[in-house]
Amino acid sequence: MNKEVETILDNKMGNKESKPPKKLDIDSVLKSKAKKHYNKIPKVAINYLKRKVHQDELNYIIETYQDEYGSDFMKACVDYFNLTLHIKGEENIPKSGSFIFVSNHPLGGLDGICLAAKRQAIPSIASRTSYSSSNSAMVKETTLAPT
């Protein structure tokens, strides 16, 4: 079992003190990734970016569901957004093992969350994006493992 999974399981079982969840912080990211340019970025642009990525709402979700793990966290997200799940072609998805799930739109990460919540599986690769140089196609790869 890898170290990250052990830590998650220990925290879930109450074997270790759980750390406060990491939160999204656009300011910190910009400061660390664009050190030379950060002070030149207008604060209104940074605040716009925070609103655009829904930093406060995502931090609320992280804080609220910090004790949920794997497919339980995925289900909590689905419930939070009040989503109704209908999977067309679910019979084509293997009952066990890995598979590649490709979304045909830019919000494919949510598809992976919904699929994991419905199938009660944990994505081991939540979203790995690959670009094909020949046709600029974007592929999202999600590997699910039963919980």
CA distance linking residue 117 with residue 19, whole number of Å: 25
> What is the rounded average pLDDT of the residues 76-97?
82
pTM: 0.61
Q: Among 2-6, 60-64, 73-77, 127-131, where is mean pLDDT lowest?
A: 127-131
Sign of CA dihedral 56, 16, 78, 104: positive
Q: Among 6-15, 51-60, 95-104, 123-132, where is mean pLDDT lowest?
A: 123-132
> What is the rounded average pLDDT of the residues 26-36?
93
Question: Helical H runs in the chain?
Answer: 3-13, 26-33, 43-52, 55-64, 70-80, 108-119
- The tokens of 21 are what? 């969840």
Per-residue pLDDT band for 56 (boundaries 50, 70, 90) equals: very high
Q: Would the pLDDT of 42 be above 90? A: yes
Per-residue pLDDT band for 144 (boundaries 50, 70, 90) equals: very low
Q: Would the pLDDT of 137 be above 60? A: no
* Domain spans of the chain, in order of start: 19-66, 69-147
| Block residue for tokens 């656009």 | 26
3 state SS of 122: strand
